[in-house]
Protein backbone atom coordinates (compact mmCIF):
# COMPACT_ATOMS: atom_id res chain seq x y z
CA UNK A 1 0.00 0.00 0.00
CA UNK A 2 1.47 3.31 -1.12
CA UNK A 3 1.18 6.66 0.60
CA UNK A 4 -0.13 8.10 -2.66
CA UNK A 5 -2.71 5.43 -3.48
CA UNK A 6 -5.35 8.14 -3.37
CA UNK A 7 -4.17 9.34 -6.78
CA UNK A 8 -5.09 6.01 -8.37
CA UNK A 9 -8.31 5.79 -6.37
CA UNK A 10 -9.41 9.14 -7.78
CA UNK A 11 -8.65 8.11 -11.37
CA UNK A 12 -5.68 10.46 -11.80
CA UNK A 13 -3.05 9.46 -14.34
CA UNK A 14 0.49 10.58 -15.13
CA UNK A 15 -0.96 12.87 -17.79
CA UNK A 16 -4.51 14.23 -17.55
CA UNK A 17 -6.78 16.32 -19.71
CA UNK A 18 -7.73 19.68 -18.21
CA UNK A 19 -10.91 20.10 -20.25
CA UNK A 20 -14.23 18.42 -19.49
CA UNK A 21 -17.92 19.01 -20.14
CA UNK A 22 -19.15 16.58 -17.50
CA UNK A 23 -18.75 12.98 -18.57
CA UNK A 24 -16.62 13.72 -21.62
CA UNK A 25 -12.98 14.83 -21.64
CA UNK A 26 -11.46 16.79 -24.49
CA UNK A 27 -7.87 16.18 -25.54
CA UNK A 28 -6.92 19.79 -24.92
CA UNK A 29 -4.72 21.83 -27.24
CA UNK A 30 -2.94 24.02 -24.72
CA UNK A 31 0.42 23.71 -23.00
CA UNK A 32 1.43 20.81 -20.77
CA UNK A 33 1.83 21.83 -17.12
CA UNK A 34 3.10 20.09 -14.00
CA UNK A 35 1.33 19.70 -10.69
CA UNK A 36 4.08 19.89 -8.07
CA UNK A 37 3.55 18.94 -4.44
CA UNK A 38 4.82 21.61 -2.05
CA UNK A 39 5.35 18.82 0.48
CA UNK A 40 8.44 17.40 -1.22
CA UNK A 41 8.82 19.23 -4.53
CA UNK A 42 7.91 16.16 -6.57
CA UNK A 43 5.89 16.25 -9.77
CA UNK A 44 2.57 14.56 -8.98
CA UNK A 45 1.25 14.48 -12.55
CA UNK A 46 0.96 16.49 -15.75
CA UNK A 47 -2.10 18.29 -17.10
CA UNK A 48 -2.86 19.34 -20.67
CA UNK A 49 -4.27 22.86 -20.65
CA UNK A 50 -7.15 24.13 -22.72
CA UNK A 51 -6.72 26.83 -25.34
CA UNK A 52 -9.28 29.29 -26.74
CA UNK A 53 -10.49 26.76 -29.28
CA UNK A 54 -11.22 24.28 -26.47
CA UNK A 55 -12.93 27.04 -24.51
CA UNK A 56 -15.24 27.72 -27.46
CA UNK A 57 -16.16 24.06 -27.65
CA UNK A 58 -17.01 24.01 -23.95
CA UNK A 59 -19.03 27.21 -23.85
CA UNK A 60 -21.05 26.24 -26.91
CA UNK A 61 -22.03 23.03 -25.19
CA UNK A 62 -22.73 24.91 -21.95
CA UNK A 63 -25.11 27.21 -23.82
CA UNK A 64 -26.98 24.26 -25.26
CA UNK A 65 -27.17 22.38 -21.95
CA UNK A 66 -28.52 25.46 -20.16
CA UNK A 67 -31.59 25.33 -22.42
CA UNK A 68 -32.35 21.84 -21.08
CA UNK A 69 -31.08 22.12 -17.49
CA UNK A 70 -33.21 25.17 -16.66
CA UNK A 71 -36.37 23.24 -17.61
CA UNK A 72 -35.69 20.42 -15.17
CA UNK A 73 -37.73 21.07 -11.98
CA UNK A 74 -35.60 22.56 -9.22
CA UNK A 75 -36.17 19.65 -6.79
CA UNK A 76 -34.94 17.26 -9.48
CA UNK A 77 -31.86 19.41 -9.95
CA UNK A 78 -31.48 19.23 -6.19
CA UNK A 79 -31.58 15.44 -6.39
CA UNK A 80 -28.55 15.51 -8.71
CA UNK A 81 -26.74 17.74 -6.23
CA UNK A 82 -27.68 15.36 -3.41
CA UNK A 83 -26.09 12.50 -5.32
CA UNK A 84 -22.97 14.59 -5.95
CA UNK A 85 -22.74 15.22 -2.21
CA UNK A 86 -23.01 11.51 -1.50
CA UNK A 87 -20.36 10.69 -4.11
CA UNK A 88 -18.03 13.23 -2.50
CA UNK A 89 -18.75 11.62 0.90
CA UNK A 90 -17.61 8.28 -0.43
CA UNK A 91 -14.37 9.79 -1.73
CA UNK A 92 -13.80 12.09 1.25
CA UNK A 93 -10.61 10.48 2.56
CA UNK A 94 -8.95 10.33 -0.86
CA UNK A 95 -10.03 13.89 -1.78
CA UNK A 96 -8.79 15.17 1.59
CA UNK A 97 -5.38 13.60 0.96
CA UNK A 98 -5.21 15.04 -2.54
CA UNK A 99 -6.05 18.54 -1.31
CA UNK A 100 -3.38 18.15 1.37
CA UNK A 101 -0.70 16.82 -0.97
CA UNK A 102 -1.27 19.21 -3.86
CA UNK A 103 -1.95 22.37 -1.83
CA UNK A 104 0.10 21.73 1.34
CA UNK A 105 -2.53 22.14 4.06
CA UNK A 106 -2.56 19.41 6.69
CA UNK A 107 -4.75 16.35 6.16
CA UNK A 108 -7.32 17.35 8.77
CA UNK A 109 -7.78 20.67 6.99
CA UNK A 110 -8.07 18.83 3.69
CA UNK A 111 -10.84 16.69 5.16
CA UNK A 112 -12.49 19.82 6.51
CA UNK A 113 -12.49 21.40 3.08
CA UNK A 114 -14.09 18.32 1.53
CA UNK A 115 -16.70 18.38 4.29
CA UNK A 116 -17.56 21.93 3.24
CA UNK A 117 -18.44 20.57 -0.19
CA UNK A 118 -20.67 17.93 1.38
CA UNK A 119 -22.33 20.53 3.58
CA UNK A 120 -23.03 22.94 0.73
CA UNK A 121 -24.57 20.09 -1.26
CA UNK A 122 -26.92 19.41 1.67
CA UNK A 123 -27.72 23.12 1.89
CA UNK A 124 -28.38 23.38 -1.85
CA UNK A 125 -30.70 20.35 -1.80
CA UNK A 126 -32.90 22.12 0.75
CA UNK A 127 -32.69 25.33 -1.24
CA UNK A 128 -33.98 23.55 -4.34
CA UNK A 129 -37.42 23.41 -2.67
CA UNK A 130 -37.27 26.97 -1.37
CA UNK A 131 -36.72 29.11 -4.44
CA UNK A 132 -39.56 31.39 -3.46
CA UNK A 133 -40.90 34.48 -5.16
CA UNK A 134 -43.38 37.05 -3.85
CA UNK A 135 -47.01 37.82 -4.52
CA UNK A 136 -48.16 41.36 -3.82
CA UNK A 137 -51.30 43.48 -4.05
CA UNK A 138 -51.70 45.36 -7.30
CA UNK A 139 -53.20 48.85 -7.62
CA UNK A 140 -54.88 47.71 -10.87
CA UNK A 141 -58.32 46.05 -10.52
CA UNK A 142 -58.49 42.38 -11.44
CA UNK A 143 -54.73 42.19 -11.77
CA UNK A 144 -52.38 39.68 -10.13
CA UNK A 145 -48.81 40.76 -9.56
CA UNK A 146 -45.90 38.56 -8.49
CA UNK A 147 -42.18 38.20 -8.96
CA UNK A 148 -40.12 35.11 -9.54
CA UNK A 149 -36.47 34.37 -10.08
CA UNK A 150 -35.21 32.89 -13.34
CA UNK A 151 -31.85 31.18 -14.00
CA UNK A 152 -29.11 33.48 -15.27
CA UNK A 153 -27.34 31.13 -17.66
CA UNK A 154 -23.64 30.30 -17.55
CA UNK A 155 -21.78 31.07 -14.34
CA UNK A 156 -17.99 31.45 -14.61
CA UNK A 157 -16.13 30.30 -11.50
CA UNK A 158 -12.48 31.26 -10.94
CA UNK A 159 -10.95 29.72 -7.81
CA UNK A 160 -7.67 30.10 -5.91
CA UNK A 161 -5.14 27.51 -4.77
CA UNK A 162 -5.76 27.77 -1.02
CA UNK A 163 -9.25 26.26 -1.14
CA UNK A 164 -9.02 24.29 -4.37
CA UNK A 165 -12.41 22.53 -4.13
CA UNK A 166 -14.64 24.12 -1.48
CA UNK A 167 -15.05 27.53 -3.09
CA UNK A 168 -16.02 25.93 -6.39
CA UNK A 169 -18.75 23.97 -4.63
CA UNK A 170 -20.15 27.04 -2.88
CA UNK A 171 -20.79 28.55 -6.28
CA UNK A 172 -21.57 25.59 -8.52
CA UNK A 173 -23.97 23.71 -6.26
CA UNK A 174 -26.10 26.79 -5.61
CA UNK A 175 -25.98 27.68 -9.31
CA UNK A 176 -27.03 24.15 -10.25
CA UNK A 177 -30.20 24.05 -8.15
CA UNK A 178 -31.09 27.52 -9.46
CA UNK A 179 -31.01 26.19 -13.01
CA UNK A 180 -27.64 27.59 -14.06
CA UNK A 181 -24.69 25.80 -15.63
CA UNK A 182 -21.08 26.55 -14.74
CA UNK A 183 -17.59 26.76 -16.20
CA UNK A 184 -14.80 26.27 -13.67
CA UNK A 185 -11.37 27.78 -14.18
CA UNK A 186 -9.28 26.53 -11.21
CA UNK A 187 -5.87 27.69 -10.04
CA UNK A 188 -3.00 26.29 -12.13
CA UNK A 189 -1.27 25.49 -8.84
CA UNK A 190 -3.86 22.85 -7.90
CA UNK A 191 -5.25 21.40 -11.14
CA UNK A 192 -5.50 17.78 -9.98
CA UNK A 193 -8.04 18.62 -7.28
CA UNK A 194 -10.41 19.97 -9.92
CA UNK A 195 -9.84 17.01 -12.25
CA UNK A 196 -10.53 14.47 -9.50
CA UNK A 197 -13.72 16.27 -8.53
CA UNK A 198 -14.86 16.56 -12.13
CA UNK A 199 -14.48 12.79 -12.51
CA UNK A 200 -16.76 12.25 -9.51
CA UNK A 201 -19.35 14.64 -10.92
CA UNK A 202 -19.13 12.94 -14.30
CA UNK A 203 -20.09 9.60 -12.78
CA UNK A 204 -23.21 11.11 -11.20
CA UNK A 205 -24.22 12.85 -14.41
CA UNK A 206 -23.71 9.68 -16.43
CA UNK A 207 -25.78 7.55 -14.05
CA UNK A 208 -28.64 10.05 -14.31
CA UNK A 209 -28.32 10.58 -18.08
CA UNK A 210 -28.05 14.31 -17.55
CA UNK A 211 -27.17 16.68 -20.42
CA UNK A 212 -23.51 17.23 -21.16
CA UNK A 213 -22.27 20.72 -20.33
CA UNK A 214 -23.90 21.44 -16.94
CA UNK A 215 -20.65 21.20 -14.96
CA UNK A 216 -17.66 22.21 -17.08
CA UNK A 217 -13.94 22.33 -16.31
CA UNK A 218 -11.44 24.42 -18.29
CA UNK A 219 -7.88 24.47 -16.98
CA UNK A 220 -5.62 26.97 -18.70
CA UNK A 221 -3.55 30.10 -18.41
CA UNK A 222 -4.93 33.36 -17.10
CA UNK A 223 -4.15 35.05 -20.42
CA UNK A 224 -5.88 32.46 -22.57
CA UNK A 225 -8.73 31.14 -20.40
CA UNK A 226 -9.40 33.48 -17.46
CA UNK A 227 -9.30 36.62 -19.61
CA UNK A 228 -11.56 35.02 -22.19
CA UNK A 229 -14.04 33.90 -19.54
CA UNK A 230 -14.15 37.28 -17.81
CA UNK A 231 -14.66 39.17 -21.07
CA UNK A 232 -17.25 36.78 -22.51
CA UNK A 233 -20.70 38.37 -22.85
CA UNK A 234 -22.20 34.86 -22.93
CA UNK A 235 -21.29 34.53 -19.23
CA UNK A 236 -23.63 36.83 -17.26
CA UNK A 237 -22.05 36.12 -13.86
CA UNK A 238 -18.41 35.72 -12.86
CA UNK A 239 -17.48 34.55 -9.36
CA UNK A 240 -13.77 35.05 -8.68
CA UNK A 241 -11.63 34.39 -5.64
CA UNK A 242 -8.12 35.81 -5.29
CA UNK A 243 -6.16 38.94 -4.49
CA UNK A 244 -7.60 42.44 -4.37
CA UNK A 245 -5.57 43.37 -7.46
CA UNK A 246 -7.08 40.46 -9.35
CA UNK A 247 -10.54 41.48 -8.18
CA UNK A 248 -10.14 45.02 -9.44
CA UNK A 249 -9.24 43.76 -12.90
CA UNK A 250 -12.08 41.24 -13.00
CA UNK A 251 -14.62 43.72 -11.66
CA UNK A 252 -13.70 46.39 -14.22
CA UNK A 253 -13.82 44.02 -17.16
CA UNK A 254 -17.11 42.39 -16.17
CA UNK A 255 -18.68 45.78 -15.40
CA UNK A 256 -17.55 47.16 -18.77
CA UNK A 257 -19.84 44.62 -20.46
CA UNK A 258 -22.58 45.16 -17.85
CA UNK A 259 -22.13 41.69 -16.40
CA UNK A 260 -22.35 40.74 -12.75
CA UNK A 261 -19.53 39.66 -10.47
CA UNK A 262 -19.13 38.03 -7.07
CA UNK A 263 -15.68 38.71 -5.64
CA UNK A 264 -13.98 37.19 -2.61
CA UNK A 265 -10.67 38.99 -2.25
CA UNK A 266 -7.95 39.84 0.27
CA UNK A 267 -8.28 40.09 4.02
CA UNK A 268 -6.25 41.86 6.70
CA UNK A 269 -8.07 40.32 9.62
CA UNK A 270 -7.61 41.56 13.16
CA UNK A 271 -8.44 40.28 16.64
CA UNK A 272 -8.91 42.78 19.46
CA UNK A 273 -7.70 41.43 22.80
CA UNK A 274 -9.36 43.52 25.49
CA UNK A 275 -8.32 44.02 29.11
CA UNK A 276 -10.98 41.52 30.24
CA UNK A 277 -10.24 38.84 27.64
CA UNK A 278 -10.02 35.22 28.73
CA UNK A 279 -6.54 34.40 27.49
CA UNK A 280 -7.12 30.66 27.95
CA UNK A 281 -9.40 30.74 24.91
CA UNK A 282 -7.88 33.77 23.19
CA UNK A 283 -4.34 32.41 22.74
CA UNK A 284 -5.39 29.12 21.06
CA UNK A 285 -7.82 31.07 18.87
CA UNK A 286 -5.06 33.44 17.77
CA UNK A 287 -2.58 30.65 17.05
CA UNK A 288 -5.05 28.55 15.06
CA UNK A 289 -6.15 31.58 13.07
CA UNK A 290 -2.63 32.75 12.29
CA UNK A 291 -0.72 29.55 11.44
CA UNK A 292 -3.47 27.31 10.03
CA UNK A 293 -2.95 26.52 6.34
CA UNK A 294 0.48 28.10 6.90
CA UNK A 295 -1.15 31.55 6.95
CA UNK A 296 -2.68 31.13 3.49
CA UNK A 297 -6.39 31.53 4.23
CA UNK A 298 -8.31 34.64 3.28
CA UNK A 299 -9.59 34.64 6.88
CA UNK A 300 -6.13 34.11 8.43
CA UNK A 301 -5.50 36.29 11.48
CA UNK A 302 -3.01 38.97 10.41
CA UNK A 303 -3.15 41.52 13.24
CA UNK A 304 -3.57 41.32 17.02
CA UNK A 305 -4.63 44.58 18.67
CA UNK A 306 -3.83 44.19 22.36
CA UNK A 307 -4.77 46.37 25.34
CA UNK A 308 -1.64 48.00 26.73
CA UNK A 309 -2.20 46.62 30.25
CA UNK A 310 -1.91 42.99 29.08
CA UNK A 311 0.31 43.49 26.03
CA UNK A 312 3.47 41.95 27.50
CA UNK A 313 1.56 38.97 28.90
CA UNK A 314 -0.11 38.24 25.55
CA UNK A 315 3.17 38.72 23.71
CA UNK A 316 5.01 36.28 25.98
CA UNK A 317 2.26 33.69 25.76
CA UNK A 318 2.23 33.90 21.97
CA UNK A 319 6.00 33.45 21.77
CA UNK A 320 5.71 30.43 24.04
CA UNK A 321 2.82 28.98 22.00
CA UNK A 322 4.65 29.50 18.72
CA UNK A 323 7.80 27.85 20.11
CA UNK A 324 5.74 24.76 20.96
CA UNK A 325 4.94 24.40 17.25
CA UNK A 326 8.62 23.89 16.38
CA UNK A 327 8.29 20.13 16.04
CA UNK A 328 4.83 20.21 14.45
CA UNK A 329 5.94 21.55 11.06
CA UNK A 330 6.24 18.89 8.38
CA UNK A 331 4.61 16.46 5.97
CA UNK A 332 0.97 17.57 5.57
CA UNK A 333 -0.20 13.93 5.46
CA UNK A 334 1.47 13.11 8.79
CA UNK A 335 -1.09 13.08 11.61
CA UNK A 336 1.36 14.82 13.97
CA UNK A 337 1.82 17.81 11.65
CA UNK A 338 0.05 21.08 12.45
CA UNK A 339 1.75 23.29 9.85
CA UNK A 340 2.53 22.19 6.32
CA UNK A 341 4.55 23.97 3.62
CA UNK A 342 3.76 27.16 1.75
CA UNK A 343 2.41 26.69 -1.76
CA UNK A 344 5.51 27.66 -3.79
CA UNK A 345 8.70 29.71 -3.99
CA UNK A 346 6.81 32.88 -4.89
CA UNK A 347 4.89 32.63 -1.61
CA UNK A 348 8.10 32.13 0.37
CA UNK A 349 9.66 35.13 -1.36
CA UNK A 350 6.62 37.24 -0.44
CA UNK A 351 7.05 36.14 3.19
CA UNK A 352 10.73 37.09 3.17
CA UNK A 353 10.09 40.45 1.53
CA UNK A 354 7.46 41.29 4.14
CA UNK A 355 9.89 40.54 6.97
CA UNK A 356 12.47 42.77 5.33
CA UNK A 357 9.92 45.58 4.95
CA UNK A 358 8.96 45.29 8.63
CA UNK A 359 12.57 45.88 9.68
CA UNK A 360 13.00 48.75 7.22
CA UNK A 361 9.84 50.45 8.49
CA UNK A 362 10.93 50.22 12.14
CA UNK A 363 9.38 46.98 13.33
CA UNK A 364 10.91 44.07 15.21
CA UNK A 365 10.62 40.36 14.47
CA UNK A 366 10.21 38.82 17.92
CA UNK A 367 9.88 35.23 16.77
CA UNK A 368 10.42 33.08 13.67
CA UNK A 369 10.56 34.19 10.07
CA UNK A 370 13.26 31.81 8.85
CA UNK A 371 13.21 29.10 6.20
CA UNK A 372 13.56 25.70 7.85
CA UNK A 373 16.40 23.34 6.95
CA UNK A 374 16.22 19.57 6.76
CA UNK A 375 12.87 19.36 4.99
CA UNK A 376 12.14 17.74 1.61
CA UNK A 377 11.39 21.13 0.02
CA UNK A 378 12.41 24.72 0.71
CA UNK A 379 8.81 25.76 1.34
CA UNK A 380 8.70 25.07 5.08
CA UNK A 381 8.93 28.21 7.22
CA UNK A 382 8.84 29.14 10.87
CA UNK A 383 5.74 31.31 11.50
CA UNK A 384 6.66 34.84 12.53
CA UNK A 385 5.55 37.34 15.17
CA UNK A 386 6.32 41.03 14.67
CA UNK A 387 5.78 44.23 16.67
CA UNK A 388 4.55 46.96 14.35
CA UNK A 389 2.41 50.06 14.01
CA UNK A 390 -0.88 49.79 12.18
CA UNK A 391 -0.30 52.66 9.74
CA UNK A 392 2.92 51.26 8.25
CA UNK A 393 2.63 50.40 4.54
CA UNK A 394 3.53 46.73 5.04
CA UNK A 395 0.83 46.33 7.70
CA UNK A 396 -1.76 47.91 5.43
CA UNK A 397 -1.15 45.15 2.88
CA UNK A 398 -2.25 41.54 3.03
CA UNK A 399 0.78 39.25 3.26
CA UNK A 400 -0.40 35.75 2.40
CA UNK A 401 1.90 34.00 4.86
CA UNK A 402 2.14 32.96 8.54
CA UNK A 403 3.05 36.46 9.71
CA UNK A 404 1.24 37.92 12.74
CA UNK A 405 1.45 41.59 13.74
CA UNK A 406 1.22 42.75 17.38
CA UNK A 407 -0.20 46.25 17.95
CA UNK A 408 -0.95 48.14 21.20
CA UNK A 409 -4.05 50.13 22.09
CA UNK A 410 -5.22 52.23 25.07
CA UNK A 411 -9.04 52.32 24.88
CA UNK A 412 -11.69 50.35 23.02
CA UNK A 413 -12.59 53.12 20.57
CA UNK A 414 -8.94 53.29 19.55
CA UNK A 415 -8.92 49.50 19.06
CA UNK A 416 -11.91 49.72 16.74
CA UNK A 417 -10.27 52.52 14.76
CA UNK A 418 -7.08 50.48 14.39
CA UNK A 419 -8.97 47.40 13.31
CA UNK A 420 -10.99 49.27 10.70
CA UNK A 421 -8.10 51.41 9.46
CA UNK A 422 -6.97 49.09 6.67
CA UNK A 423 -8.25 48.85 3.09
CA UNK A 424 -9.57 45.30 3.53
CA UNK A 425 -12.69 44.22 5.42
CA UNK A 426 -13.21 40.48 5.49
CA UNK A 427 -13.10 38.97 8.99
CA UNK A 428 -12.66 40.35 12.50
CA UNK A 429 -12.91 39.24 16.12
CA UNK A 430 -12.84 40.49 19.69
CA UNK A 431 -12.05 38.60 22.88
CA UNK A 432 -13.79 40.24 25.84
CA UNK A 433 -15.92 39.55 28.91
CA UNK A 434 -17.46 43.01 28.66
CA UNK A 435 -20.98 42.82 27.19
CA UNK A 436 -20.99 46.47 26.12
CA UNK A 437 -17.72 46.02 24.23
CA UNK A 438 -18.98 42.95 22.40
CA UNK A 439 -22.25 44.65 21.47
CA UNK A 440 -20.47 47.77 20.23
CA UNK A 441 -18.10 45.59 18.21
CA UNK A 442 -21.07 43.94 16.47
CA UNK A 443 -22.99 47.19 15.95
CA UNK A 444 -22.96 49.61 13.03
CA UNK A 445 -20.27 51.65 14.78
CA UNK A 446 -18.09 48.62 15.44
CA UNK A 447 -16.31 46.27 13.06
CA UNK A 448 -16.59 47.28 9.40
CA UNK A 449 -15.88 43.76 8.18
CA UNK A 450 -18.25 41.31 6.55
CA UNK A 451 -17.60 38.80 9.34
CA UNK A 452 -17.51 39.75 13.02
CA UNK A 453 -16.81 37.20 15.78
CA UNK A 454 -16.91 37.39 19.57
CA UNK A 455 -14.63 35.16 21.68
CA UNK A 456 -13.64 33.08 18.67
CA UNK A 457 -10.99 33.71 16.01
CA UNK A 458 -11.24 35.15 12.51
CA UNK A 459 -10.64 31.95 10.60
CA UNK A 460 -13.37 30.04 8.83
CA UNK A 461 -17.10 30.42 8.30
CA UNK A 462 -20.25 28.33 8.27
CA UNK A 463 -22.27 27.13 5.30
CA UNK A 464 -25.59 28.46 6.61
CA UNK A 465 -24.45 32.07 6.94
CA UNK A 466 -23.35 34.73 4.49
CA UNK A 467 -19.63 34.82 3.70
CA UNK A 468 -18.01 37.90 2.27
CA UNK A 469 -16.32 41.18 2.98
CA UNK A 470 -16.46 44.93 2.62
CA UNK A 471 -14.15 47.59 1.17
CA UNK A 472 -11.26 46.04 -0.81
CA UNK A 473 -12.46 42.55 0.01
Would residue 326 show up in a list of annotated catalytic residues for this protein? Answer: no
What is the C-alpha separation between 336 and 312, in angstroms, rounded? Answer: 30
Is 24 catalytic? The answer is: no
Residue/partner pairs of 75-80 with CB below 8 Å, 24 or more apart: 75/128, 75/129, 77/128, 77/176, 77/177, 77/179, 78/124, 78/125, 78/126, 78/127, 78/128, 78/129, 78/177, 79/125, 79/128, 80/176, 80/204, 80/205, 80/208, 80/210
Angle of CA points 211, 212, 216, to nearest 5°: 130
The arrangement of strands across the sheet holding 237-241 comes to 19-20, 215-218, 181-185, 154-158, 237-241, 260-264
Q: Which of 102, 109, 113, 264 is catalytic?
A: 264
Among the options 298, 397, 398, 449, which is catalytic?
A: 298
The catalytic site residues sit at 264, 298
Amino acid sequence: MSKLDFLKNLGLEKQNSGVSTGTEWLTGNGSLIESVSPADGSVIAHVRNANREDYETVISLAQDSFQEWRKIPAPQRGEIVRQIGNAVREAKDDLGKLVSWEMGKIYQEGLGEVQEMIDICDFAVGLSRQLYGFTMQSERPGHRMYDQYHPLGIVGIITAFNFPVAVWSWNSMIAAVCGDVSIWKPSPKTPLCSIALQRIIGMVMRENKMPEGVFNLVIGTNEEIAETLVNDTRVPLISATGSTNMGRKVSAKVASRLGRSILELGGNNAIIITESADLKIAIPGIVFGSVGTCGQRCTTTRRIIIHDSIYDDVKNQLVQAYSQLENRVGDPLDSDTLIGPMIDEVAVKTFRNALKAIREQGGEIIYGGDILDGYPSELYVRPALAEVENHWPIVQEETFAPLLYLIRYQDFDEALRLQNDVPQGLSSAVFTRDFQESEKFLSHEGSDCGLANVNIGTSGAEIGGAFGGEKDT
